[in-house]
Amino acid sequence: MQRYAVFGSPIGHSQSPRIHAAFAKQCGIAMNYDAIEAGHADFAAKLAASGVRGANVTLPLKEDAFALCMGNASTRAQRAGAANTLIRDGDSWRGDNTDGSGLVRDLTERHGLDLRERRVLLLGAGGAARGVAPALLDAGIHSLYVANRTLARAEALADALGEPGRVHPRSLDDLARLGEFDLLINATSATRGGSLPTLPMALAGRRSAAVDLSYGEAAVPFLAWARAAGCTQALDGLGMLVEQAAESFLLWHGLRPETEAVYAELRARNDGLVTAD
């Protein structure tokens, strides 16, 4: 029986075990997939002791995971400076980042968004933001504004992306002067505590779409703001979660599972707390 797990904190809410159990059943693979609580101080030790063949990594450990596999990381993980997927490679780990491809697939194929030439605001500059930023640029967006409470972290992400003509670091204090965006993405962890940075309504227009990379209760404050601001679509991160999981499953097993039925089941289980459209 192959063993896999997701590491993070908090982790009790994670839908990843349910998703990977459905994928394994669909593909006829015998595997266990657990959720393991871990923080910065004990992540490496718990990963080593777990005996897993592969792992997903969520908040707040994606940059920690990248540090563990820095010499054996995919181009996607290197560009992001963060890893959300680990694959055992002998006595060490190979790292990848499937967040960006999962987000783009969800937005374009499930929700019909055309990302080409779009003006995008990315709130946050941590591991979640780092994971999706390169894929957004590759999808053909016009420009990416990275707004973070600490400007230095936004500048560090912009430097890592290496496209100064398209990527613009900003402080949250600058938001009132940035104008309207076609796509607004919340990649901060602030809403997990029920709070949301002050966001001017002028950031969104009638054709704007908004996405929170979280799902469930954590996504409620930002999506409520998006609807009040008049966004045409207000999406949570459940679809992205399923799509990035499918990409991780492919890396581990060489098979890409079908995602739509799994997404539909999770959407129904979400009890209408956060609607997808």
Binding residues for NADP(+), by number, are 124-128, 148-153, 213, 237
Q: How many CA atoms lie within 13 A of 13 on its CB side?
A: 14
Please give the single-letter amino acid code of residue 44.
A
pLDDT of residue 259: 98
Residue ranges of the annotated binding site for shikimate are 14-16, 58, 84, 99, 215, 244
Which residues are part of a known binding site?
A: 14-16, 58, 84, 99, 124-128, 148-153, 213, 215, 237, 244
Architecture of domain 100-238: 3-Layer(aba) Sandwich (3.40)
**Each residue's pLDDT expressed in tens, for the chain with a length of 277 residues:** 899 999 999 999 899 999 999 999 999 999 999 999 999 999 999 999 999 999 999 999 999 999 999 889 999 999 999 999 999 999 999 999 999 999 999 999 999 999 999 999 999 999 999 999 999 999 999 999 999 999 999 999 999 999 999 999 999 999 999 999 999 999 998 666 657 889 999 999 989 999 999 998 889 999 999 999 999 999 999 999 999 999 999 999 999 999 999 999 999 987 544 333 2
CATH class name, domain 2-98+245-269:
alpha beta
Q: Which amino acid is at 147?
A: A
What strands, in cross-sheet order, belong to the sheet with 233-235?
167-171, 143-148, 119-123, 181-186, 204-212, 233-235
**Fold equal for 2-98+245-269 and 100-238:** yes
Interior angle at CA 172, CA 167 and CA 177, nearest 5: 75
Q: What is the per-residue pLDDT for 194?
A: 58
Determine whether 62 is an active site residue.
yes
Backbone angles phi, psi at 148, to 5 degrees: -140, 150
Segment (H or E) for 25: helix 16-27
One-character DSSP codes across 192-230: GGT------GGGEEEEEEEEESS-GGGGHHHHHHHHHTT
DSSP state of 109: I
Catalytic one among 20, 62, 76, 105? 62
Long-range contacts formed by 112-119: CB under 8 A, 24+ apart: 113/183, 113/209, 113/233, 115/139, 115/140, 115/141, 115/183, 116/140, 116/141, 117/141, 117/142, 118/142, 118/182, 118/183, 119/143, 119/145, 119/180, 119/181, 119/182, 119/183
3-state DSSP assignment of residue 108: helix
Bridge pairing between strands 92-96 and 85-89: antiparallel
Backbone angles phi, psi at 94, to 5 degrees: -105, 135
For the chain, give every domain's residue range.
Answer: 2-98+245-269, 100-238
